[in-house]
Amino acid sequence: MILRGAYLIRRFLTSARRNEKQAQADRIRDQFYEQCWREAAQSCGGEYARIGEGVSRITHKIVRRPIFVDRNLNVLDSHAAVQATDDKPATYRLVRELGAPVPDHVVLRADAHKAALEFIQSHGGSFVVKPASGTAGGVGVTSNVRTASELRHAMAWAGAYCSRVLVERQIEGDTYRLLYLNGNLLDCVLRMSPSLVGDGTSTVRKLVEEENRLRLSEGFKRSQSLLKIDRDMKATLAAQGLGLNSVPTDGQKFMIKHVANDNSANENVSMIDSVAVSTIEIGQHIAAIFGLKLVGLDIMTPDISKPLGEAHGAVIDINGDPGFYYHYYKDSGRIALAEHILTEVIKAAESDVCPA
């Protein structure tokens, strides 16, 4: 409890003293979504107006009421259906009922260290600890957890965001985001974990600072977020024998975080033509179960072209309000998701005003 309390205090202190760099990064993310929705409105013959931070209004002659959009919040589906995907243990149960693999895991109170330690000792390998609900974007997540000390810190960090934590076996392989609209696979993106390259003189901390400087300078064309020094970064570095004060050799490429959410645009790769049919069907069934028109499915697997069971992969998350960035900024095949969404809203409005 003491450790969790310390992380709670750290969480709120960090939030209270948001520095100008983080505030600027938030503005860059808002600018990205503003561009997405402005382009979509123009493409669909509507009018766009920015209302406030992240919130915009789109008007269209077919749609009787203004369409309010807020970054990536889902405007196609009910709030309750979207919220249902936020409960990770519940979604894992549903995925298992479909016969699809999920990581071996246990759901515990944030202070249930003994039970968590028994779980990881009985399974072996590396583990991921995450809040059971209430977060997105990799917040509160720690990967590469192996020891009792790492586990205690990871549970305290996750517990700062949710009283229940999920301790799950870490799946080997890469992270893929599968995006569905109306039950059809719209996109599949390989989201590489963010990496940096040493110069032989700079510490890891200095390399992170320089990368963040470039991200602020170049804006969302480079990345939608800053690299945050958190438990996942420290654990990922430790697994490679590195720390924030280590000096990687010149040209040495190393993973800076395991969680892919803070990666850069050049670390997103289109893979829609490589997905196994059975994997596509898993996402279609999930969308149907939740009754969602728009859904993002996160998968970890060594080989996206093989069925998950055969490749020893697993479903690791379901997103009822998937982010847009990975589909706009990647190596090829830009998917203008905002335009697809706005088109669906207009179609629904047309069906309401047109006689059957």
Taking the domains of the chain in order of start, what are their residue ranges?
Answer: 1-71+334-356, 80-101+172-193+260-323, 104-170, 197-257
The two tokens of residue 350 are 């047309």
d(CA 246, CA 263): 21
Residue whose C-alpha is closest to residue 305's, from 347, 346, 268, 274 = 274
What CATH class does 80-101+172-193+260-323 carry? Answer: alpha beta
d(CA 71, CA 282): 27
80-101+172-193+260-323 matches 104-170 in fold: no
pLDDT tens for the chain, 356 residues long, are 556 555 555 555 555 445 777 888 889 999 999 999 999 999 999 999 999 888 999 999 999 899 999 999 999 999 999 999 999 999 999 999 999 999 999 999 999 999 999 999 999 899 999 999 988 878 899 999 999 999 999 999 999 999 999 999 999 999 999 999 999 999 999 999 999 999 999 999 999 999 999 999 999 999 999 999 998 999 999 999 999 999 999 999 999 999 999 999 999 999 999 999 999 999 999 999 999 999 999 999 999 999 999 999 999 999 999 999 999 999 999 999 999 999 999 999 887 754 44
d(CA 265, CA 221): 7
Q: State the pLDDT at residue 3.
A: 66
What CATH class does 104-170 carry? Answer: alpha beta
pTM for the whole structure? 0.91
Q: State the pLDDT at residue 18.
A: 54
d(CA 193, CA 175): 8
The two tokens of residue 148 are 């009792």
Q: State the pLDDT at residue 276.
A: 98
Beta bridge pairs of residue 270: 189
Residue whose C-alpha is closest to residue 287's, from 315, 327, 246, 311 = 315
Cα three-residue angle 23-29-34, rounded to 5 degrees = 125
Q: State the pLDDT at residue 255.
A: 98
Q: Terminus-to-terminus CA distance in the chain, angstroms?
A: 61
Residues 6 or more apart whose CB falls under 8 angstroms from that of 224 comprise 28, 29, 32, 323, 325, 329
Residue whose C-alpha is closest to residue 110's, from 129, 86, 89, 136 = 129
Q: State the pLDDT at residue 177.
A: 98
Q: State the pLDDT at residue 355.
A: 47
Q: State the pLDDT at residue 11.
A: 55
Q: State the pLDDT at residue 356.
A: 43
Q: State the pLDDT at residue 137.
A: 79
d(CA 237, CA 232): 8
